[in-house]
Amino acid sequence: MTLLGIDVSRYQGKVNWKSVAASGVTFAFAKATENSGYVDSSFAGNWSGIREAGLLRGAYHFGRPGGDPEVQAVHFASVVGSLGSRDLPPVLDLEVNDNHAASYVVQWARTFLTRAESLFGRRLIIYTGSFWRGPLGNPNDPFFRERSLWLAAYIAKPVIPASWDHWLFWQYTEGQHNNPAAIAGVAPCDQSRFEGTEAELEALCHGFTPVPNPMPTPVGSQWPGTFFVWPKQPVVAGPVVRAWQQQLTERGYSITCDGIYGPKSKQACMAFQRDHGLVSDGIVGKATWEALFS
């Protein structure tokens, strides 16, 4: 059985996701971020629209090896936020080298994936194709083999890069070549195939322990599933931030409990992380939250 999926970004404009779903599409990926500061302007609408249409959804980051991989991983995770029970693994889109050598790009990808996976609590998917086989020299690396491949190849018989022996998703058309399906509700876009049943596809969403959505008031001690990051637009703020700040003051750290995660909150967070043997990155994730409230 073959399931049809699409991936979109701002270039497709506004998408009617109900019409997309009615056209036989089962899953969709949306571009979330690029580099260390860019957020796709259509991501928020696509992310919620995919879910509301009943489709399985995933988010991808367009990697830029010209920028810091760890900063980009944090940016990606902070924009996407916590993943739900019908969210596919996040994706690193690797298709440019930004004028860096192949060995540098491979190490860059390794660093990005390691950091992003620590934040999401999920193993990422790698999107690539001829870029891997050409500019990167087709490396055969067990690190990448442990992660699933989303293959980009707009030909009838795709060639799989050396680090993998099969694809999880195959992006077989950009919407024009190689017999794209007619899909209502969206401008011509990339289309992908998944070989398997919908139950098998949905099982990809269950490779982690789901976390709840951001907590309503009152806030308890359970991690809310929201990363506190500075700088970020919009600024991370609300009852969960205030609860975290209050707990920090009770542990003896000086901080204003204003419910806004700004530079002083980040400094206090880094101090707490150093004191408790955590990675001192100023990001309030699951490990930092649980250490504070333990």
CA distance 52 to 56: 10
CA angle 148, 149, 154 (to 5 degrees): 160
- List all residues 6 or more positions away from 146 whose beta carbon is below 8 Å from its beta carbon: 123
43-79 b/e with 16+ CB inside 10 Å = b?
beebbebbbebebbbbbbbbbbbebbbbebbbbbbbb
Q: Where would I find the beta strands (DSSP E) of the chain?
A: 2-8, 25-34, 38-39, 56-62, 91-93, 125-129, 149-152, 169-173, 190-195
Is 93 considered catalytic here? Answer: yes
CA atoms of 28 and 191, how far apart (whole Å): 9
Catalytic status, residue 198: no
Q: Of 68, 70, 95, 195, which is the active-site residue?
A: 95
Is 7 annotated in the active site?
A: yes
Dihedral sign, Cα of residue 190, residue 193, residue 199, residue 200:
negative
Q: Which of 34, 40, 87, 93 is catalytic?
A: 93
Structure tokens at 38: 């860019």
Strands 56-62 and 91-93, sheet pairing: parallel
Q: What is the largest CA-CA distance in the chain?
A: 63
Residue 280 contacts residue 268 (beta carbons within 8 Å): no
The catalytic residues are 7, 93, 95
